[in-house]
Amino acid sequence: SGESGAGKTESTKLLLQHIMNLCKGNSQLEQQILQVNPLLEAFGNAQTVMNDNSSRFGKYIQLRFQKNTVQGAKLSEYLLEKSRVVRQDTGERNFHIFYYMFAGLSSEQKEMYGLLDPSLYRYISGRFGTQEVAEHWKQKYQEVCNALDMVGFQEQEQVDMQAILAGVLSLGNVTFEPEESNGSVKVSEASQGWLKAAAVSHNKFMSPALLQSLSVSCCCSLCADARDSIAKVAYGRVFGWIVCKINELLAENVDPEVELREIGILDIFGFENFAVNRFEQLCINLANEQLQHFFNHHIFQLEQAAYKEEGLPWETITFNNNEPILNLLLAKPLGLLSLLDEQSAFPQATDKTFVDKLNSSFKGNLHFQPARGRVLGFSIIHYAGKVQYAARGFLEKNRDTVPANVRGLFINSVTPLLIPLHIHHEPGPTLARVKCGHEAHVKLLWGEKTHSLMVLMERMYSANPHFVRCIKPNSQKEPGVLDNQMVLLQLRYNGLLETIRIRRDGFSWRPSFEEFAER
């Protein structure tokens, strides 16, 4: 764990290499486990203000051992930040893969996918930079292609996948205008070309029925929301497909009777505090609050309970317990997330009614502060400091609506990858799934996010954990610069100073009675 940009993903890669090295084997499986990383990073990481290669999803890697050899591995992904596909703030970029494609595809391939100059796309932000950057991206694109081959994607599947990504970008440029005759909305004349490009000549991504289906008798902004939700769903689906393929490749091939031992590595997005913090940052920061609570539970509560039980003379060490913050966020029926779900279920509710509800419910709560002036938002005093959240878009993102007629498009898609979108999935550890029945489709995202986080936390609590705390040296993304104040702040809020005390004053060697008698 650690802040965004503290080095969690890089440490995870080093830890994997180290474990593989200790296994002494150089089997194909071990190489494959190490090689899936470029693929996950291309599709799941992006440049943010805090980190040029920021993980926008959480991953849990389970390595399964028989004796001392790795027999298989399983990857679970959590809370992919799909909203990044359709919007990025200043100084941020979309997922790496889009930039790699522009740099790595030949002009013939770009023509085949209907890709034009990157500056034309609404979903792509950030200048394309220097020749040097383009060369780097080109090289990265080659790594992704090699990894796709290695993981077992057929050539046609790779073509389909890139056609979908190109289709997502074209779709983002489709705009809407009112139909004068009957008050409904239609695709604007100016963006008809983009609509055709999104359908990618052979119906690869969308049937041209998109035009009819999005032109419902509603306002332009609702159509734009539906367009964006299609893009997010399609991208999430591609990501989920990659993870499934990786798991098929890495699954252990052993007799089910054989008991395997397991080492799990959790690399989750770090705590974030940007100039503007949205729904996504609240999700990320909640996950970090839960990890911090887990750390406290293990290091302080269980440890000191063991000393008391053994009747050892011990002065209790106090620590910053973040339980009140978790209660503020997760309590039922009056926690922040319960109130968000309640408001999301009212068609008349707005982001403002949600904020008003928070202000009245949490008046006097030490971890909650209403926004000053006319700002639509609120602040939460997290374990790592105060974060101000902008409330605009909270309800819409929590509702995560995919209109029913749009689901039909996926059902009729000729790309096999997109068809499963209409099948009802159990909520698993991925948000790339869209649940669809015939009912009006509003799934409350929090329910699904908290479900997948709870499953993760249950796994953590049942294991024997080791904590790797990553400390960010400076906020300038500079090597070799250590900002003492910044480091000290992290040591404080992570509870590491108290951890050092408990380790120094406590009992580090715990022999069993058998070991003691033997000795």
Annotated ligand binding at 6? The verdict is yes
Are 316 and 304 a contacting pair, CB within 8 Å? yes
Beta-carbon contacts of residue 27 (< 8 Å; ≥ 6 apart): 69, 70
Burial of 273-302, coded b for 16+ CB within 10 Å and e otherwise, reads bbeebbbbbbbbbbbbbbbbbbbbbbbbee
pLDDT tens digits for range 6-49: 999 999 999 998 998 888 765 788 888 888 999 999 999 999 99
90 part of the active site: no
Please write down the HEC assignment for all residues of 196-254: HHHCHHHHCCCCCHHHHHHCCCCCHHHHHHHHHHHHHHHHHHHHHHHHHHHHHHHCCCC
Beta bridge partners of 45: 55
Annotated ligand binding at 311? The verdict is no
What the block records as the tokens of 131 is 């020749």
Annotated ligand binding at 126? The verdict is no
Beta bridge partners of 73: 63
Which residue out of 30, 41, 272, 280 is catalytically annotated? Answer: 272
- Could you write out the DSSP letters of every residue in 474-508? -SS--TT---HHHHHHHHHHTTHHHHHHHHHHS--
* Rounded CA separation 196/58 (Å): 35
Which of 14, 17, 34 has its CA nearest to residue 150? 34
What is the structure's pLDDT at 30? 80
- CA dihedral sign of residues 386, 387, 389, 395: negative
Annotated ligand binding at 193? The verdict is no
- Token look-up 């084997």 returns 25
Which residue out of 1, 5, 277, 494 is catalytically annotated? Answer: 5
What is the structure's pLDDT at 208? 53
Q: What is the mean pLDDT of each run of 10 residues along the chain (519 residues)?
A: 92 91 77 88 95 93 90 91 93 95 96 92 83 93 94 90 93 88 82 83 51 60 84 92 93 87 92 92 92 91 89 89 95 93 91 97 97 95 96 88 68 63 36 29 62 80 90 93 96 91 84 94
Asked if residue 496 belongs to a domain, the reply is no
CA 202 from centroid of its chain's CA atoms: 32
* Rounded CA separation 271/261 (Å): 31
Annotated ligand binding at 7? The verdict is yes
What is the structure's pLDDT at 438? 26
User: What amino acid is encoded at 87 in this protein?
Assistant: R
Q: What angle do CA 54, 59, 64 make, to 5 degrees?
A: 140
Asked if residue 198 belongs to a domain, the reply is yes
Asked if residue 68 belongs to a domain, the reply is yes
Asked if residue 325 belongs to a domain, the reply is no
What is the structure's pLDDT at 235? 95
- Token look-up 């699954």 returns 251
51 part of the active site: yes
Tell me if residue 516 falls in helix, strand or coil: helix
Tell me if residue 142 falls in helix, strand or coil: helix
φ/ψ of 109, rounded to 5, equals -65, -40
What is the structure's pLDDT at 399? 80
Angle, in degrees to the nearest 10, between helices 131-151 and 220-250: 60
* Rounded CA separation 163/293 (Å): 43
Asked if residue 366 belongs to a domain, the reply is no
Asked if residue 507 belongs to a domain, the reply is no
Asked if residue 149 belongs to a domain, the reply is yes
Host domain of residue 189: 8-268
**CATH number for the domain including 81?**
1.20.120.720
Which residue out of 1, 45, 48, 55 is catalytically annotated? Answer: 55
253 part of the active site: no
Are 457 and 433 a contacting pair, CB within 8 Å? no
The total of structural domains in the chain comes to 1
452 part of the active site: no
Which residue out of 12, 45, 54, 285 is catalytically annotated? Answer: 54
What is the structure's pLDDT at 351? 96
- What are the E-state strand segments in 367-455? 368-370, 377-382, 385-390
Asked if residue 51 belongs to a domain, the reply is yes
Annotated ligand binding at 114? The verdict is no
pLDDT tens digits for range 322-347: 999 999 999 999 999 999 999 998 98
